[in-house]
Amino acid sequence: VAENMDSTLPEVEKMLEPYLSQFGQRQDATSHDSISDILDNERFVAYRGPLTTARKA
């Protein structure tokens, strides 16, 4: 099974490339804040809640 998975890996990576290329940080990003600084920002803290709870806008 593992050998079969290894042989199909390049094909799967090629198929996922358009989707995975959307992840990551842009080269021209102006913010140098760390992820924890961004998430600790008061904009995010004010709306923090369980993911199962829907908020009304």
Pair of tokens at residue 4: 């079969």
Predicted confidence at residue 24, as pLDDT, reads: 75
Asked if residues 38 and 30 have their Cβ atoms less than 8 Å apart, the reply is no
Predicted confidence at residue 14, as pLDDT, reads: 93
Q: What is the DSSP string of 14-36?
A: HHHHHHHTTSS--TT------HH
Predicted confidence at residue 15, as pLDDT, reads: 93
How does pLDDT run across 5-57, given as a tens digit for each residue?
888 999 999 999 988 887 776 777 776 778 788 777 767 666 666 666 666 65
Query: 3-class SS at 10?
Result: helix
